[in-house]
Structures are given as C-alpha cells and as structure tokens.
Amino acid sequence: MRSPWIRRGLAAAGALLLLGAGAALAARSHVGRFTRQGPPEDYRCGRCHGHWTLFRRGPIREGYPDPAGLALSPDGRTLFVACEGTDSLALVDVASGRVRAEARFAPGSLPQGVAAAPAGRSVFVTLRGRDRVAAVDAASLEVRESGVVGRGPSGIALDASRGRLLVANGESDDVAILDAATLEPVRRLSAGREPWRIAVSPDGRFAHVVNRLSALHAAGDLPVSEVTVVDLEQGRVRSRVPLPSSHLAEGVAFLPAGDRSLVSLVRVRNRLPITQVARGWVMSGALALVPADGEGAAALLPTDDMDRFHADPAGVAVAPDGSRAFLAAAASDALSVIDLPALLAAERAPPPGDGGEKVDRMDLAADYVAARVPLGANPREVLLSADGRRLFVSERWDGRVAVLDPAGGAVLHRVDLGRPAGGPSEVRRGDRLFHSAAITFQGGFACRSCHPDGHQDGLVYDFEIDGMGRNIVDNRSLLGVHGTNPFKWTGRNPGLADQCGPRFAKVLTRADPFPARDLADLVAYIDSRPPRRGNGALTASVERGRAIFFRTRTNDGREIPEGNRCSTCHPPPLYTHRRSADVGTRSPLDTSGEFDTPHLLGVVGSAPFLHDGKAPTLEEIWTLHNPRDTHGVSNDMSKQQLNDLVDFLKTL
C-alpha cells in the first residue's frame, strides 16, 4: 500500500466508482423526471436517446438554398429571394441575374415569405422556424426581428396604406397584423387551417388569405377549405369563402380589376376509393375565382388535361393587363400559362348539362390553358414584375430562379443561388422524388400532395385493398417516423422500403414502382425528416399533464393495469411501443380492432386523430371514444386533468 502507484490506482478506482455512482443516480433522476416512473430496470442513455432524429429541431441542412418567397424592390432592380435551406435572404441584381448580397438569419430560421416595402429599403421576411418576422435593410443588410408573431409564419403581405404587415401563421392558424415600422403586433385574426399565402387587393381594402388544410370536420363529411377575407380598414375577418372539397390552396393573386382573386388549390375527393386515381377523381388541380369582398361563392375551374395532370398547383401571378395568369405546377416541373379572358369566359359559361360541376370536367382546361412551360425541379413561387415584362419562378430543388418572358413563356435565363459541391446526397435525391409526380399515373400527384412538408393533409382515405368503403384510414404524418416502424395503421409494413415499395405502386400510384435506388433515396429522405415540433409551452398545466401521462394509479388510488397506462403503449422518447393494440375504437367498417400505435411527436398538428380520423380534437379521443377505459384510464379524470393531459401532449 506504500507504493504510490497502488495508492494512485486505488484513488483512481475510487474516483471512478464515485463518478459511476453519481452518473447512475443522475440517470435515475433524469429518467424519473421524464417518465414519472420509479427506478427503471434499464436507464442506459440509448434506451431513450438511440434515435438521432430526436436531437434535431429542423431538417438536415446540406447547404441547398431551397428558394421560397420572392419579392422585387420598388425600382424593380433587385429580386429578394428567401432561401429556406440556408437561412438567408438573397439579393439578386435583376439585370445581371447574379446574387449581389445576402442577409443572414439565425440557424433554423427557415425564411419563407417575403414582402418589400413600396418605398424605402425595408424587406420583410417571415422566419418560419423561429416564429418571427425580420425586417432587412436592403442597403446595409442589417436585420431587425420582431417578437413571436404566432407559430409557423409563412406568407406575408404589406398593407402599405396603413403601414401594416399581414402574416399567415401556418401552425397557429391565424393571421398576425403587425405595425410595419415597429414590428409590434396589432392584432391576431383567426384564419382557416394552415394559412399559407396572402394577397392584398389593388384598392387596399381587402386581403385574401389562402389556407392549406380543410377545416376540421366530422368523419364522413367532405373537406372544405376557406379563403379568409380580411377587411383591412376594420382589421377584422369579413368573410370566409368556402372552397368545397378542396385543400392545399397555396397561391393567391388578385385580378387587375380587383374584384376577384385567383387561388390555386387541389380538388380532393378523398372519400372516393383510390381506384378512382386513374380517372382523376381523387385529386386534381384547380383555380378558384374568389370575390374580393368575400360576398358570394367561389367559382372553381380545373387546370389539368384529360391525359396529364399538372400536380401540386402552387404560386399564382396575374399580368397587369389581365391577359394572362401564371400557375406553377410544383410536382410537374412546369408552369401553366392561362388565357385569363378565356378562363373568365369559361366561368361565365352555363354549367354542364349533366348536372355536374365545371371543376370536375377534365376537358375544360384546354379552353383556357394557353401553354405549359417546362421548368426546373419543383417550381413553387411565381412573381411578375410591376410592368409585367419579367416573370420570376423559383425552382426550389434546383436552387435557382427562372426568369421568363411572360409574353412568349421563354426562359430567358436562370439565377443560380448556389449549391454545395458534388452531386446530391441520397437524402437530397429522395427530396426530389418526394416532391415529384413523375412516378404516379399520368403525373397525378406526388408524395408531397398528401404529405405537405412531409406532414399530413388532415384527411382520411379509402384504400380499396381492403374492400371499397371499408377500413377508412386517417393519413399519418411522415415526420419523425424514423425508428417508429412498423408502418400503416395495420402495422403490416415492417419498414419504409415496404411502405413505399411495389405494393405502394399497386395500391396508390398505379404506375411502375420506384427503382431500387430511388426507393432507397426516398426512404433516406423520409427517414431524415425530424418530427414536427410541439407547441413548446412549459407551464404548470403541462407539468401536471406529464404526471397524468405517467401515472400508475387512478384518482381514487386504484392501480392502473400496466397495459392500460398511457406510457406503456406510448413510452418516450418516440411515444410509441411500436406494436399494435386494440383500444376499442373499431368501427363497423373496420376489419380488425387492432391498430398500430402511432408515435406522438408533433401530435399537436396532426388532427384528426385515431385510425379513422373520428376524433377531430385530442379531447374527443377520451370524451367520446373511450367509454370503457380501453384507451388508457381516463374516465376518472376531472376536466382540469384532461385539459392538463392535452396540454402536455401538445408539447411533444
């Protein structure tokens, strides 16, 4: 023992022992804190943190610019491009077609929408990932940020005469009105579901807000989206113009006369069996003419051809002289040039004699679609210069902006926003496939058509593989699915390769399946998508809800059977035990009562709920669909406890 080496060795062993004991205690405490369980049998880090996606708060950043919103400076010399992929605003010299400067935002900002002040140097950018709006000085590139304006701000428009900004908050389903000078909030107006883009009428009286998702509705009802019409003078919602059987309205522009707006949308017939894909009866593109003051119904007209779809209609622009409109078909890599007078004539024409609707006539678009201009990959945003002589279209996947001659539709040149060296990674290639309709029958739709942003469209579908009208299933998010296999509500697909493979082609796309390499790329892309974020609230209610989620006893002290505790089937960190369970939600049209247990990450934005979407809100899972405590023990809860539980779930 006198040897210093022995003493040092013993001291080191003792220190290690103490360190290990301390770490073990800390781990126990940490696990107990987050699970509300007693000392667990297994508290290794990998038990909960083995899934690397949990550590990321945003998508993989590979240095691609992913251009989103576009705007022009008052003099038309500078094009502003929000680059979602590089958290920057590119200032492009229109004459030379080169990026002359770049304003940088904090990592994870995900800049999305852009609006330029008609005078001065301010450019306003929504920072979708950080819930803020930035004002960029176009000369000094100085960035000034607002406070939180809502959740997921995307579209932005300037009400110049009143000095106000209108911001569409896609995740909090509202429109923030800000003071353009101070960026201070003035009002928050309720919008539809996932408000996306905004346009202000030429006379400055109204703003039209297009919403991507249909309103929450009872199972069995048709989805109805809306155009939210804001009275700018009053600062109130004046009207909500319904868009029946429609969703994914992502583009809006006013006609020069100012009496109506043109809205791009997807006409969806999700209650029809998927066998109708071949007839264009499941989803097709359309334009809606919406009265500026919101009084009256919208007129819907189709935009696809009889034998070819132009999928994922996105940005819209209208020529100042009212001769043409331009519509990006994001999943078809094309731009549709619309003869506007012909479109309006078609709208005025008598309805078809068969009692149907014009929007369902696939032969109608030929009367007013003047041209289809091929473009680069994933064109989304469309912007026309004030004089109508230049048309700018963002090509998201290519990282470029195409500059076109609106008269002839010719691409004059492209603005390269930069890209990383080397070829695209498999994730990037998968991104391309995910957003392309090339794989589906007649280019009808892309993966993204039902999974905008990789998430879900809030609808239920009838996959006739189980028999028509049977086994209606809620569309599930593809965000955060890494490690949550098996997939499908039946849990039949052990991995994403099975989910997106040949069976998928047979059931859904009605075309050749993805080649093996493409399938691997697509799986890599989906696997890379992080979960949708929760609402981030850390309140006393959330803490109480966490305790309820992990509780083992009822309010009167009875032990809850282990199999009937929330945390048994939805254990952290994924909040799924990846097995099927019968929670008593089977309907008469279901073949089985056993369903795959979904993960709960980002559940706040995943309505409706349960396998067939029968619960439009989280509360209904327990208030209406758990009468016998088969989906966890909930019937002993007070209203406050249920509210607390819901508050906790919304943070996941």
Partner 1 sequence: MDPRTIRRAAPAALLAAALLLPACGREEALAVGDGGAGGAAAGEAPAERPAPVARAATALERPPAAGAIYDRWETIGVAEGLPARKVLSVTCEPDRVWACTEGGLAEIAGGKVVRVWTPADGLAHRVVTSCARSATTGDLWIGTFGGLSRLSGGRITTWRQTTSGLMNDVVYGVDCEGDRVWCATASGLSWYDFARDRWGVYDHNNAVFHEPWVYAVTVGDGLVWLGVWGSGVISLEPSTETWREFRDPDGEMEVELVPDDGPVHVITSSLSYDEGAVWQSTYFGVSRYRDGRWRSWLKKDSGLPSDFVNSVKARGRWALFNTDSGLCVTDGDHWAVYTRRADGKGEVRLTRPGREPEVRVLDTAPPHDFVFQSDARGREVWIATAEGVGHGTATGGATMVPAEAGGSERR
For position 195 contacting partner 1 by CB under 8 A, the verdict is no
Q: Which of residues 218-247 bind partner 1 (CB under 8 A)?
A: 226, 228-229, 234-240
Interacting residue with partner 1 among 535, 552, 568, 630 (CB under 8 A): 535
For position 606 contacting partner 1 by CB under 8 A, the verdict is no
Q: Which is nearer to partner 1, 240 or 476 (CB)?
A: 240
* Tokens matching residue 287: 């334009």
For position 163 contacting partner 1 by CB under 8 A, the verdict is no
Task: Mention every residue, 6+ apart, whose C-beta is less than 8 A from residue 293.
Answer: 205, 206, 229, 238, 239
Q: Which is nearer to partner 1, 216 or 465 (CB)?
A: 216
The upper half-sphere exposure of residue 68, i.e. CA atoms within 13 Å in the direction of its Cβ, equals 27
* Tokens matching residue 594: 């056993």
Asked if residues 442 and 338 have their Cβ atoms less than 8 Å apart, the reply is no
The upper half-sphere exposure of residue 266, i.e. CA atoms within 13 Å in the direction of its Cβ, equals 34
Asked if residues 521 and 501 have their Cβ atoms less than 8 Å apart, the reply is no
- Span interacting with partner 1, options 97-105, 122-130, 173-181, 317-325, rule CB under 8 A: 173-181
The nearest distance, CB 635 to partner 1, in angstroms, is 13
For position 398 contacting partner 1 by CB under 8 A, the verdict is no
DSSP string covering 330-370? GGGTEEEEEEHHHHHHHHHSPPPTTS--GGG-TTSGGGTEE
For position 172 contacting partner 1 by CB under 8 A, the verdict is yes
For position 181 contacting partner 1 by CB under 8 A, the verdict is no
Q: How far apart are the first and last CA of the chain?
A: 55
The nearest distance, CB 489 to partner 1, in angstroms, is 23
Q: Which is nearer to partner 1, 333 or 644 (CB)?
A: 644
The nearest distance, CB 641 to partner 1, in angstroms, is 10
Between CA 443 and CA 151 the distance in angstroms is 33
Interstrand relation of 78-83 and 67-72 (parallel, antiparallel or unpaired): antiparallel
Q: Is 396 left (phi over 0), alpha (psi -120 to 50) or beta?
A: alpha
Task: Mention every residue, 6+ apart, whose C-beta is less than 8 A from residue 639.
Answer: none
Interacting residue with partner 1 among 28, 56, 188, 510 (CB under 8 A): 188
The nearest distance, CB 146 to partner 1, in angstroms, is 9
Interacting residue with partner 1 among 446, 642, 649, 652 (CB under 8 A): 642
Interacting residue with partner 1 among 177, 292, 298, 522 (CB under 8 A): 177
Query: What order do you get walking across the sheet with 260-268 strand by strand?
Result: 246-254, 260-268, 283-291, 299-302
* Tokens matching residue 58: 């945003």
* Tokens matching residue 228: 């939210």
The nearest distance, CB 164 to partner 1, in angstroms, is 12
For position 537 contacting partner 1 by CB under 8 A, the verdict is yes
Task: Report how many residues bind partner 1 under the rule CB under 8 A.
Answer: 45
Longest dimension (CA), the chain: 106
The nearest distance, CB 358 to partner 1, in angstroms, is 25
Q: Which is nearer to partner 1, 631 or 650 (CB)?
A: 650
328-348 burial, b at 16+ Cβ within 10 Å, e below that, comes to bbbbbbbbbbbbbeebbebee
Q: Is 97 left (phi over 0), alpha (psi -120 to 50) or beta?
A: left
Q: Between 616 and 635, how does the x/- string for binding to partner 1 read (CB under 8 A)?
A: xx-xx--xx-----------
The nearest distance, CB 587 to partner 1, in angstroms, is 18
Interacting residue with partner 1 among 20, 23, 26, 184 (CB under 8 A): 184
- Span interacting with partner 1, options 155-163, 340-348, 481-489, 538-546, rule CB under 8 A: 538-546
Q: Between 565 and 604, how does the x/- string for binding to partner 1 read (CB under 8 A)?
A: ----------------------------------------
Q: Which of residues 112-141 bind partner 1 (CB under 8 A)?
A: none
For position 643 contacting partner 1 by CB under 8 A, the verdict is yes
- Span interacting with partner 1, options 10-18, 147-155, 372-380, 526-534, rule CB under 8 A: 147-155
For position 185 contacting partner 1 by CB under 8 A, the verdict is yes
Q: Which is nearer to partner 1, 215 or 433 (CB)?
A: 215
Separation in Å, CA 181 to CA 103, 134, 174: 19, 11, 21
* CA dihedral sign, ordered 260, 266, 271, 277: positive
Between CA 432 and CA 462 the distance in angstroms is 27
Q: Which is nearer to partner 1, 165 or 283 (CB)?
A: 165
Question: Which residues of this protein are in contact with partner 1, per CB under 8 A?
Answer: 147-150, 172-174, 177, 184-190, 226, 228-229, 234-240, 294, 535, 537-539, 541, 616-617, 619-620, 623-624, 638-640, 642-643, 646-647, 650
